[in-house]
Every structure is written in C-alpha cells, then in structure tokens.
Structure 1
Amino acid sequence: MKIRQFIGSLLLMLLIYSTGQARTYTEDEGKAAWARLQRQPLTEATFRETCDLIQDMGQTNLPLAYEWLAHYVPKVQKTGNRRWTHILLINWGKAKESLNHFDEAEPLFRQARQNARPIPKLYCDALTYTVQLYYSWDKPDSLTHYLALGERTARAINDSETLALLLDFRGASRSRTGHAEAMCADFNESIRLARGLPTKYALFMARHSRASYCLTNPQQQVMAFDSLLELANDSSLARNPRFYERTTVYFRSPRPTVLFKLAQLNLLLTDYENAGKFADMVYDALVRPNPKAPNVPYFNAEMATIRVYQGKVKEARAFLDSCRRQFGVTESQIPYSGYFLAAGLLAEHDGQLAKAVDYYKQSLTKGAASGSFSRIPLELFYVRALLRTGDYAKARQMLLGLTTAATSNQYSAIGLYYYQSLADLNKAQGDYAHYGQALGTYYAIRDSLTNLNQYRAVQQILAQVRIRDKEEQINRLNTENAARERQLQRERRFYGVIITLALLAIVLLALYVRNRQVRARQREALQQSQLEQLEKQRQIDLMHSVMQAEENERLTIADQLHNEVNPLLAVVLLNVSSALETVDNNTPTGPKLRKAQDVLASVTSTVRGISHRLTPQLIEQQGFRRAVEELAESINLSEKVKIQTIVVGFKDALPIPFLSDLYRIVQELVHNVIRHAQATEATIEVIEHDQHVAILVEDNGVGIPADTVGDGQGLQTIRAKVALRHGQMDVQRKVEGGTLVVIDNIELPKHVVGETKRAESKIS
C-alpha cells in the first residue's frame, strides 16, 4: 500500500503541466493549429510546435491529444528520425501509465525500446520507463528482467543518471520483499551517483525515496522532507521541460511533490490543520493554474477528504461535486477510490451509515487510492462503518487483515483508528478485557500524537519567532549594506569620472601624436610625389629635346638636299642632256653621256626620296592620310610586299610636328615589316579618336622569334615616342604566324582637343 501511494503521488506530479510555457487552446483553435501543422513539411521547428500543441491540448482534451498522437507517430516513423519517434512514444506511454492504464502503456514502451535500440542513450531512457511501468503495475518478474537489462546498458555507456534512477526503483522494489538493509543501500548508492550530475532529477528522486522508505517514524519523515524543500528549489528542477527537452524519468513539480508528502505525513500524525495548509499550497501550485488538467478531478476528491478531516464539510461537498462533474460519468462508474472515500466520510457525517458502508465498499473495488493525501488503509473506514451498522463479524474479519499495518505504524493515524475500532468492536461484543487493552492503547497513541502536535506547534511558533528575528536582522543588515553600497557607488562614480578623464586625455594625446605622424608622412609622400613628377617631367623634356633636335637635323639635311644638292644635280643633268643633243650617236662619247644622264636621273630621284622621307612635305601639301597611302604605294611597287592602309579621321588641322611623329612611327613599323618579317601582306590602321590616336600594324610574316630578348633600336625609338605622347605599345606574336603591333592612347595635342570640343558645342 505504502509503495503504491508513493508512486501514485509521483505520477500525479508527472502529469500536471507547467503554466509558464503552456498555452490553452479551445478545441476549435487546437484543431485549426493541428490542420495547419499537418500541411507543413516535417522539420525540427514544426515537430517541436506539434509536440507543444499535443502537450497543451492534453491539459483540456486528453482524448483529442491521444487521437493526434495515434495519427502523428506513424507519420514521424516514416521519416526514419528515431529521436522524434522516441519523444512521441515515451510521452504517450508515460501519459497512459500516469493514469494507471498500464495495459495501454506497455505496447507503447515496447515500441519505444525497439525504436531506440540502435541509440544507447535513448535505449536507456526507454528501459527506465519500462522499469517504472512494471514497478507501478506490480509485475516483479518483468521488473527484475528490465532492471538487470537497464543496469547493464547504463554501465556499458557510463550513464550515471540512468543507473541512479534504476537503483532508486530497485531499492523501492526491495521494500515489497522486506529487504530493508539492501533497500537503503540502493538508495544511498543512487544518491552517491546522482550528486555529481548537472541536473538534480535523480538526486531528488533518490532522497525522496530514502525519506519515504528508510525512515519509518513519521516525525523523522517530516524533518527529512522539510530539508528536501531546499533541493526542490534547485534551478535544474524549477522548470517543467517540454516533450522534446527530456525523455527520462523526472519530477515535473518537485516542490509541490514535497508539499504533497508533507500533507500526507501531517494527516498521518493527525495534524489536520497543517495537513490542510500543505494541501492548499499544492492545490494553488498545480490545480488552480490548470483547472482543466486531466488529474484535476482526482485532486478535487483528495481535497474533499482533507476538508472532512478539517471539519469543513461545506467545502468538502463543493470539492466532491466538482469532482463528480469533471469525471462526467455516473457515480458508480467513477474510476477513483479517493472519490468514494470522501463520499463515505460525508455520508457518515450525515448519519447515512448504510450509504457510507456502500461507498467504502466501492472504494475497495476501485484499486488503491494512488496519489491520495490519506495513507490510512481504506479498510479502516469500512470497518468503522460496519461497526456502526452492527456487522461485527465482517468488521473483525477486516481488522484481522490490518493488524500488521497497525503494529508497524502504531503511533500514527493508522494505529489510532485501528485501536479505536478494535476497542469499539470488543465493547460491542462484550469482550471488556480486550476492550480495556485496546482502549488504553488508543489513548496512549492519541496522547502521544497530541503531545507531538503540541510540541510541533510550539516549535513552529519558536521557529516563526526565530524567523522574525532573523528577518529583522536581515533587514538591518540590508539597510546597512544599502548605505555602504550607495557610498561605494558614489566613490565608484567619482573615481570613474577621474579615470575616464585620464583615459580621455591619453586618447586625445595619442590622437594628436598620431595626427602629427600622419601629416608628416603625408608631407613626405607629397614631396616624394613632387620629386617623382619633376624627374618624370625632366625625362620627358629631355626626350622631347632629343627628338626635336633629331627632327631639326632631318629638316636641315632635307633642306640642303632639296635646295642645294638637287638644283646642282638638275644643272648637271641639263648640261649632259644638252651635250647629248650635239654629240653624234656614233661617237664613242655618246653612250657614256647617256649612261651619265641615267645615273644623274636616278641620283636626282633618290635624293628627292631621301628628302621626302626626312621631312614628308606631302603631309603639308595633301595631308597625313595621303602621306601614309603614298608610303604604302611606293612599297607596293616592289611587288614583294602588299600593304593595305586604313586611315580614319585626320580631317581637322593638326600640328605638323605631331603628324610627323605619327608618320615616323608608321614608317619605322613598315620598314621593320620589310626588313625582318619576310611577309607578303601587311595592314596599317591609323584611327583618330576624340582625344587620342590608335595605330595597328599587322603582317603575315615569320613573327617575332621565341628567343628574342628585348627590343631593337627601332622599336625602342618608337616606344620612346609613344611614351612621350602618354600612349601604350604592345608587340605580339600571332598564333597563326606574323606580328601584331598595337599602339593606343597617343594623346592629341591639347589645344586641338579643346578646339574640337568648342566646335562640337557650337554645332549642337
């Protein structure tokens, strides 16, 4: 009986949900949320949201929550996610078990074990719940088997928490066989294993079990559970995890569980006032925030019993009426013995003894009052009603079965009611000798309990006085600490301002120094840049001077050839021609003069060509385009290389020196093709853009040799001229053979660019 009452109270705590995270749904809201979630893909987020919905709906509509689980579990199993499946099966199974539906919980835990077998930690969780099932169901063979299997598995993976929980259940099972020493050893070992764990679930359960089973004196138990209240406030126990946060055995509401136990113990000590206070605290913590939770009707029946003990009959009737309405079935179909106990107590109070006998009899057929505040055997109430109705034979038969319980719990309400009933029975049957003995024992127990309760009342008063003194002392210390703290705050602010100002000064100084360094580096960089620009400009000016000197020298030579040598050659050629007219063709000097005439004509032509190459006068006479075309035509006459020209632009007047530079570049590139390329075809493109000129010369010759290092003298000269005009030059060997020279971005003279833009502006 004792063990069933303990585990029943534990399971009651397990099923009550936290109000901090739960949401209350109406049935329509819940169904709408369920339909929405079923349309969404299965992800971790939607799985958790669905678990929350099922858990929250279970507070108000447990059948609907079960219906959703039956639909959702197969859907989740198809994904192959064992962790999700484990969460659903474990929570479904423990919900069934907490309501004593053991035959329905068993297949769910079997599925959980099969699903979790490949994952040792999950398998340990499933085995722990299986052990709890068979312990609550009182199936010792199955319990022994799964305890051994669970311990082996937990030791194999060094799972201290599971091992501590299993030892706790094993110790509790030993209490049924009377192995008290081994039982307490199991609890102590469980406490040792659980002490080092980050969460205190296992430690709380082990200490709870040791206080419940190893201590037989109710007064000692009260002290033990008073000390357990401190552990119940541990942060790891202070919240209620959701489905997916924990799947091993744990208390959902540890503090109310201890208060529940204290209410039981105070009833056992017949201290009904304190028992009622503890029961009210449990009710306020668990039932009032969740008035539609599945276990509320069970709890209301227990509160009705408490109120009868306290003599508050009106409140007891209200609790019992609420319980009956919440079960929603006929009275005879109510599945809880605690209801019939409370109903029997009220009927007995009203003098309806036959009805009380019937209620007590029904309570015995509804199983143990698991989770009951009252630990008094139901048979004692039945015996008392039988005595009052005159059924002495049945009453004696029932009392014989309670002798052991009364002897082991003599100085408690169990012994008190037992000896009271035994005295009444002996008196009714005329056995005054045994009547006197029983009555003496009854008074001894009553006086002991009265003195104990009076002592406890005095101790409570003294404790309250000590608490008040400590509170005053604490308030005084708090006031002093507050004053010191204010002083410290003022000092901290003062020193904080000083330190802040010092740091600010240091930062400003560092910024000032850094700014000076940056400015110094900027000045150095600017000076260096100016020096580089001056050096670059000097190089450009020097190159320009050299090229201008070369151009002037060419002009001087060309002028001498054109104005001095060429006229002289013309005079000589004219004299030779005159002499030929007076000389007979048959004379020996005739052929010589003709040969001299041909040579002079050839020299005159060569001098004219050299003069034109040195200073292409054709640029001044017919323009740059015609000069380039004539260059190509003069080469094409040799019929060795065919050159095609493409000249775009050059319609506006450009400075002759600039055009001469372009012509020299083209001329040099063409001579390179003739001398080195061994080409048969070549293309010359000269294109004038808005602000620059591009030149492209391409041939089909042998190309640049692969082992060539650096440029020749001609290409170096061209690169210098291109660089002078801020252009870029690229010489490439073509894949199919030949050479490609690309010159780009040769700047037009600035005054020409400006005039072009002004002209375009006027046109627009």
Structure 2
Amino acid sequence: MIIRKLIGSLILLLLAYGVGQARTYTEAEGRAEWARLQRQSLTESTFRQTCDLIQDMGQTNLPLAYEWLAQYVPKVQKTGNRTWIHIILINWGKSYESLSHYAEAEPLFRQARQNARSIPKLYGQAIAYTVQLYLDWSKPDSLAHYLALGEQVAKAINDRETLSFMYTFRALSKARQGKSEAMRPDFDEAIRLASNLPDKNALFMARFNRTQHYLTNPNDQIMAFDSLLSLANDSTLIRKPRFYERTTVYFRNPRPTILYILVQLNLLLTDYDNAGKFADLVYDDIVRPNPKGPFVPYINAEMAFVKSYQGQFDKAQAFLDTSRQQFGVPEFQIPYTSYFLAAGMLADHEKNFAKAADYYKKSLTKGNTASAFSILPPELFYAHALLKMGQYTEVQRLLAVFDQNITASRYTSIGLYYYQALADLHKAQGDYNKYGQALDAYYTIRDSLTSLNQYRAVQQILARVRIRDKEEQINRLNAENASRERQLQRERLFYGVIIALALLAIGLLALYVRNRQVRARQREALQQSQLEQLEKQRQIDLMHGVMQAEENERLTIADQLHNEVNPLLAVVLLNVSSALETVETDTPTGPKLRKAQDVLASVTSTVRGISHRLTPQLIEQQGFKRAVEELAESINLSEKVKIQTIVVGFEDSLPLPFLSDLYRIVQELVHNVIRHAQATEATIEVIEHDQHITILVEDNGVGMPADTVGDGQGLQTIRTKVALRHGQMDVQRKAEGGTLVVIDNLEVPKRIAEEHSPAASKIS
C-alpha cells in the first residue's frame, strides 16, 4: 500500500482507534446503553450519543460496533437527514478501509456519494474517501476516474482542502507507477493549497507523504519527520474527532505515527539510543492513555524488541511477558512477527541458540515486518542463530534471497547484518577471500552508519547549545525588560492615581448632571405615557359610543319594521286573503289578488329577515350556538355554498351585546365568502376558551388576489371590533386555494347570571 508503506497494518490500527474522549464499556454495559438509545426518538442529541457509543465500543469490540452500524444505518436513512446519513456511511466505510477490508468499504462509499450528490461539500468528501480507497486497493482505473471527478467538484466550489487531498493522492498514484520525479509538482501544489487553511489535516497529509515517498535517504527522512513533529502538535490534528465532528480525510494520531516511523528509521540506521527514546514516546502516547486497547499487545512486543536492541534485557523480558499475557493464546499461536523476534533475541542473549532459532523460524510464518519498529527481515535473525548452530547450508539458502536486492538497502541495518552474516558464513566454510570481501563491506557500512549517527549526535548537541544560548539571551532580555517594566509601573501608578482622582471628580459631576437629565426625561416620558393612555381610552370610549349608537339604531329600525311595518303588512295580507275568498275563481280580479297576496307574503318575509339581521333575537331566545347554526342553514338552502359550523362552549351566559358583536363578525365573514370567494364549501369555527374567544372561517374559493392592497370596509369594521376586544386578526391566502381568516384572543367580558341578562327587543 502506498499511503502506509512503512507503517503497515499496526499503524492502521492506531489510526482507527486513537485515544480520544472515549468511554470504555463492557459488552453488557454497551448492549444496555444501545437498547436504551434505540427506544428513544431519533434527534440530534440521541444521534450523537449513538455515534459515540458505536465509536467507543469499537475500541474493545469491533464486531459488535459493526453489528450496530448495520442496524442503525436503515433507521437513520428513514429520517431523510442527508447529513446524518453521510456521517454514518463515511465513518463506517473508513473503518473498514483503515483495516484493509476494501470490498466491505466500497459499497458504503458508493452509498455516501449517492446520498451527498445534491450537496457539493459532502459529495467532495465522499469522493476523497473513495480515492483513498482505490489508492490503497490498487485499482488504477477507478482511482484515475475519481481523482478527476474529485478535482472537478473541489474546483467548482473552491474547496481547497479536498483539492489538496486530490493532489496528494495523485502524487501517490505516480509513486505507485514508479514516476518519482513526476510526483514532486503534485506534492508542492497540495502543500500550497493547504498552507493557509485553518485546519492542518491536508497540509500534514501532503508533507507527511512527500517525506515518506519522495525522500529516499533515511537520514533525510529523519530530519524531515523531526521538523514535521511541530506541525503534528497543531490543535486541529492532535484532537480526536468524534464521528459527527469530521467527515473529510484526516490523519488520526499524527504525532504517534511520526514517532513510530522515527523509531523505524533510527533502527534502520542502527541508532538504538534515539530509537529507544522515540519508542518510549510512542508508548506514552498510545498505550498509557488506553492500556486495554486492542493494539496494546503488539506495542508491548515492539517495546521488548527495542529494549533488546538497547541491551536492556530485563525490561525487554517484562514487556514480552506482558504481551504474551495480553494476547491470551498459546505462545506459538500469537499472530505477530515482532513477538517471536524479541523472544529470539532474549534466547540469543542467554546463549540458547536452538531456542532462538525456533523463535526466529516461527517469525517467518507470521508475516513481514513492515508494521514493526524494525523492518529488518526475520531471515537475517534466523540466519544468525543457524550460524551459531553450524547449519551453514540453510544459512546460505536464506542469504541467497538478499544477493540481488541488497544494494538498495546497503547502508542500513539490513546491509550491515547481511554482510556480517555473510562474512561469518564464508569464514565458517573456509572461503577467506569472500570472507575478507564481506568483512570489508561490513566495516564500511558500520563506519558509515557510525559516522552518520555521530554527525547527527553532534548536530543535536549543537542544536541544544544554540537553544541554550538563545534561552540565556532571552533570560537576560527578560530581566532587563522586567526592570524597565517595574520602573514604568511605578511611574504609571503615580500618574494613574492623579488621573484617577481627576476622573473621579469629573465622573461624579457627570453622574450628577446625567441623573438630573434622566429624571427630567422620566418625567416627560411619564407625562407622555399618561397622555397616550388618555387618548387611547378616549378613542376606545368613542368606538364604544359609536358601536352602541349603531346597535341602538339597529334596534330602533328592527322594532319599527317588526312592530309597525310588519303588522300593517299582515293586515293588508289578511284583507287580500279575505277578498280572495269572496271572489269567484274565474273572475279577472282573482289572479291579480293572488299575485298581490304572493308579493305581500314575500315582502313580509323580507321585512322579517331584515329585522332579524338587524337584531339577531335568536341569540337571546335559543343561544349563540343556534344563531350561528341557523345562519349556516339559511345559506345552505341556496345549495350554492355548503357551510359547516363548529361552535364549542357558550354554555354560560355572556352579555348579549358581546354575543351580538361576535355574531355580526361571523355574519360579515360569511357574507364575504358568499360575495367574493366563489367558494363551494366553507367552515365556521367559534371556540370559547376560559378567557378568550377564537373565530376561524375557511373556504375553498379563489382566495384573495395577490395584488390586494388594504382591507375593504367590511374587514376594516371587523378589525375595529377585534381590536376593541384586544384580539388579533389574520387573513391568509392558502397555498392550495381559498382564504383562511383567524381571529384569536378576543377578550371575554365578565359572565352574568341568566336572570340579569340585559333586555333586548323581542322580535318574534
């Protein structure tokens, strides 16, 4: 794999399970918490809690975490929340990808792309993870396709972070093709795009991979990784993001990863002291915060290996014993090469070469050392033990594997131990010519590595000296600055006291003046408020008077129509009817009298209707609810508009004038429906609450014109009555057509006993 060539599967494990704000659950505790969360409705809070639970359970029980993810994704998808779906799919996919389960990750990233297609930012993130997947999976055609698509999407929305990742991945794809020089411009562009971003993940990713893949000299790599440590401490890198905090590509645990590689490189250059220091830092950063993590047995085996290199065999044995206990399987079933290499080195130290050879031989069956602190091939360890046991033929077979490829690793620990073993083999076989050649090569490599390590040690000493000189210079400057600062503080204190006293006097004077001004403004505001209240009360009284006058006028007209006009019409109608009884059917005056009788009956009915509208005596006779229902029934007889009524409450007595006002409001709204709405159906709702009344009138008509400005006379009258009762009125044009009028918070007057209700004209 390109991205993790030196780090291997163990570092992938560290990246997947870095220590963050994790909580450690037992399986029983985790299942109980999972069941509790699944019983709750899915909200932002429960979503985050569930994500935390899945992530934390993955620290100790990865299969259970995967099982929960498989159950949770369909539940989240039903909500239609694309951001939640994106978070779950991306994190599930990258969990599989980080452990090299590429076939399982591919459909999850495909779903993530489909889900995020309408959201360019999320779509770019999904493509970035897809590119990383195909890069690790060695799928060049798919890689090229999504690299081009990711660059296009990132440029379209000016997403510099995603674009930087695309250039980094493109450079790595060229490294895969052996185009070493061609990847330099892509790395440079990736670094340029990411340099000014507040989040340093893209910058770290570009610099890390350039150091790892473009630089070929281990010493150059060490210096580059040393300089990268300061960036690894950036707050945007060292925090451990939760599922929902980050869905773009990021480098989890950058500092331990660099320290891990520095251990490898220093062992490769046989600088065991520095390798041990960096190994201790890895242990402090990775194991101590999470001593029960799934990677801890592997790290303990690595620590045993390094301590053996340093000659600290007691510590090496302690680490190895701990590792064996943590793996929890019979020793020869432990699935890790470095464990057997460390065990072999300890047996070698005890001169038990047969036991050492058994351990080294077993290490050959546990995979390569790409994920180990030392990438020295296990075959060299095995050859060393076999030399001690005199098995030269097997040693020659093992060393023959390196004959063709040793040049690339000549000036490393691989070349050093290869030529040492080769020299010992030729000496044991009596071939002193080849023995001398191999020995010369061994000493040349050893001297080169020693000189290089000495040079690096001198550079480190010089760096420490420079740092110490700078610290001393800084201390002197700080002392001088402190002395000047003390003098300035004394002067500031003296002048400060004088200025403070002056400011205090000015402040007191200003406070006195401001207090007088505030009091004057308060008096003015109080007077203005009183005037406004008086004016408002005068307007309310005036409106009450106008409305009362209108009501009295209606009563007068209604009484006249009912008590004067209607009786006269009744007498005339009676006389006409009587005349009809005495007139023969076939006489010419018969039809005329009958026509007059019909007209008089119609006029009588009309006068009665006008009288009823002017004074809805039905409220007094049968109650408000029945009056509204009769209004609807009279309109329904026309069969042009079907009106449904819902009247709730009005069981207790309310003042008749108040009920009359409510009736007239409903009457005016219904007449508006008839006159303007062109509706076929309408609903009237009048609901009595404890302290207020709500009126709702809704129709399915044409609705109010979009260009209507202001209210008509009828609506203005209604608004006046509503305002008088401290209510609110809202007229809306419904989206599906029709009009909705809502009148709310109409203040209910004090209720009265039935027998004390105010008398009104009784019109029968």
TM-score of the aligned structures, taking structure 1 as reference length: 0.63
Equivalent residue for 1:472? 472
What secondary structure does 2:411 align onto? coil
Equivalent residue for 2:272? 272
Rounded Cα–Cα distance in structure 2 between residues aligned with 1:61 and 1:323: 19
CA contact (8 A) 1:380 1:418 kept: yes
Higher-Rg structure is 1
Equivalent residue for 1:33? 33
CA contact (8 A) 1:7 1:136 kept: no
Compute the displacement of 1:275 (Å). 0.5
RMSD of equivalent CA atoms: 3.3
CA contact (8 A) 2:383 2:399 kept: yes
Equivalent residue for 1:127? 127
CA contact (8 A) 2:55 2:243 kept: yes
Residue 224 (str. 1) matches residue 224 (str. 2) = yes
Rounded Cα–Cα distance in structure 2 between residues aligned with 1:340 and 1:103: 31
Compute the displacement of 1:286 (Å). 1.6
Compute the displacement of 1:47 (Å). 1.1
Equivalent residue for 2:201? 201
What secondary structure does 1:421 align onto? helix
CA contact (8 A) 1:12 1:98 kept: yes
Rounded Cα–Cα distance in structure 2 between residues aligned with 1:291 and 1:112: 34
Change (3 A) 1:363 1:99: farther
Equivalent residue for 2:247? 247
Change (3 A) 1:341 1:236: same
Q: Which moved more, 1:8-17 or 1:298-307?
A: 8-17
Compute the displacement of 1:201 (Å). 0.9
Equivalent residue for 1:426? 426
Rounded Cα–Cα distance in structure 2 between residues aligned with 1:111 and 1:202: 24
Rounded Cα–Cα distance in structure 2 between residues aligned with 1:421 and 1:290: 40
CA contact (8 A) 1:124 1:150 kept: yes
CA deviation profile, 1:196-232 (whole Å, cap 9, x unmatched): 3221111112111222222222222222122112222
CA contact (8 A) 1:60 1:294 kept: yes
Alignment map for 1:530-569 (pairs within 5 Å): none
What secondary structure does 1:369 align onto? coil
Alignment map for 1:478-497 (pairs within 5 Å): 478-497=478-497
Change (3 A) 1:506 1:412: same
Compute the displacement of 1:103 (Å). 4.2
Compute the displacement of 1:362 (Å). 4.2
Equivalent residue for 1:613? none
Change (3 A) 1:50 1:369: farther
CA contact (8 A) 1:58 1:293 kept: no
CA contact (8 A) 2:6 2:261 kept: no
Compute the displacement of 1:288 (Å). 0.3
Rounded Cα–Cα distance in structure 2 between residues aligned with 1:503 and 1:430: 101
Compute the displacement of 1:138 (Å). 4.2
Compute the displacement of 1:332 (Å). 4.3
CA contact (8 A) 2:9 2:99 kept: no
CA contact (8 A) 1:16 1:286 kept: no
Change (3 A) 1:352 1:114: farther
Residue 62 (str. 1) matches residue 62 (str. 2) = yes
Compute the displacement of 1:525 (Å). 12
Compute the displacement of 1:309 (Å). 0.9
In structure 1, runs of 5+ residues without a counterpart are 528-639, 641-764
Change (3 A) 1:102 1:513: closer
Rounded Cα–Cα distance in structure 2 between residues aligned with 1:526 and 1:92: 67
CA deviation profile, 1:100-136 (whole Å, cap 9, x unmatched): 4444444443443443344333233233333333433
Change (3 A) 1:428 1:226: same
Rounded Cα–Cα distance in structure 2 between residues aligned with 1:496 and 1:72: 66
Rounded Cα–Cα distance in structure 1 between residues aligned with 2:489 and 2:512: 34
Compute the displacement of 1:83 (Å). 2.0
Equivalent residue for 2:455? 455
Q: Which moved more, 1:3-12 or 1:444-453?
A: 3-12
Rounded Cα–Cα distance in structure 2 between residues aligned with 1:525 and 1:173: 77
Change (3 A) 1:358 1:253: same
Equivalent residue for 1:184? 184
Change (3 A) 1:374 1:352: same
Rounded Cα–Cα distance in structure 1 between residues aligned with 2:384 and 2:341: 13
Alignment map for 1:644-723 (pairs within 5 Å): none
Rounded Cα–Cα distance in structure 1 between residues aligned with 2:336 and 2:225: 27
Equivalent residue for 2:693? none
Rounded Cα–Cα distance in structure 1 between residues aligned with 2:211 and 2:311: 30
Equivalent residue for 1:408? 408
What secondary structure does 2:182 align onto? helix
Compute the displacement of 1:469 (Å). 3.1
Q: Which moved more, 1:396-405 or 1:205-214?
A: 396-405
What secondary structure does 1:4 align onto? coil
What secondary structure does 1:60 align onto? coil
Change (3 A) 1:133 1:464: same
What secondary structure does 1:237 align onto? helix
Rounded Cα–Cα distance in structure 2 between residues aligned with 1:225 and 1:272: 17
Equivalent residue for 1:729? none
Equivalent residue for 1:341? 341
Rounded Cα–Cα distance in structure 2 between residues aligned with 1:383 and 1:305: 18
Compute the displacement of 1:305 (Å). 1.4
CA contact (8 A) 1:12 1:371 kept: no
Rounded Cα–Cα distance in structure 1 between residues aligned with 2:87 and 2:523: 72
Read off the aligned partner of 1:480 and give its amino acid letter: E
Rounded Cα–Cα distance in structure 2 between residues aligned with 1:215 and 1:71: 45
What secondary structure does 2:238 align onto? coil
Change (3 A) 1:517 1:429: closer
Compute the displacement of 1:8 (Å). 4.5
Change (3 A) 1:363 1:519: closer
CA deviation profile, 1:19-66 (whole Å, cap 9, x unmatched): 4x2333344443333232222211111111221222223223333333
Residue 96 (str. 1) matches residue 96 (str. 2) = yes
Q: Which moved more, 1:167-176 or 1:356-365?
A: 356-365
Read off the aligned partner of 1:327 and give its amino acid letter: F
Equivalent residue for 1:720? none
Read off the aligned partner of 2:267 and give its amino acid letter: L
CA contact (8 A) 1:9 1:257 kept: no
Change (3 A) 1:188 1:297: same
Change (3 A) 1:121 1:518: closer
What secondary structure does 2:399 align onto? helix
Read off the aligned partner of 1:182 and give its amino acid letter: A
Residue 284 (str. 1) matches residue 280 (str. 2) = no
Compute the displacement of 1:272 (Å). 0.5
Read off the aligned partner of 2:120 and give its amino acid letter: P
Read off the aligned partner of 2:87 and give its amino acid letter: I
Compute the displacement of 1:352 (Å). 4.6
Equivalent residue for 2:12? 11
CA contact (8 A) 2:190 2:203 kept: yes
Change (3 A) 1:57 1:417: same
Rounded Cα–Cα distance in structure 2 between residues aligned with 1:523 and 1:106: 76
CA deviation profile, 1:325-370 (whole Å, cap 9, x unmatched): 3233344443333333333333444445455445444444433334
Rounded Cα–Cα distance in structure 2 between residues aligned with 1:216 and 1:9: 23
What secondary structure does 2:216 align onto? coil
Compute the displacement of 1:416 (Å). 0.8
CA contact (8 A) 2:14 2:295 kept: no
CA deviation profile, 1:509-547 (whole Å, cap 9, x unmatched): 2343455667889999999xxxxxxxxxxxxxxxxxxxx
Compute the displacement of 1:90 (Å). 2.4
Change (3 A) 1:467 1:98: same
Rounded Cα–Cα distance in structure 1 between residues aligned with 2:239 and 2:521: 63
In structure 2, runs of 5+ residues without a counterpart are 528-563, 565-764
Read off the aligned partner of 2:60 and give its amino acid letter: T
Compute the displacement of 1:306 (Å). 0.9
CA contact (8 A) 1:10 1:251 kept: no
Read off the aligned partner of 1:435 and give its amino acid letter: Y
Rounded Cα–Cα distance in structure 1 between residues aligned with 2:522 and 2:81: 65
Alignment map for 1:575-586 (pairs within 5 Å): none
Equivalent residue for 1:705? none
Compute the displacement of 1:279 (Å). 0.8
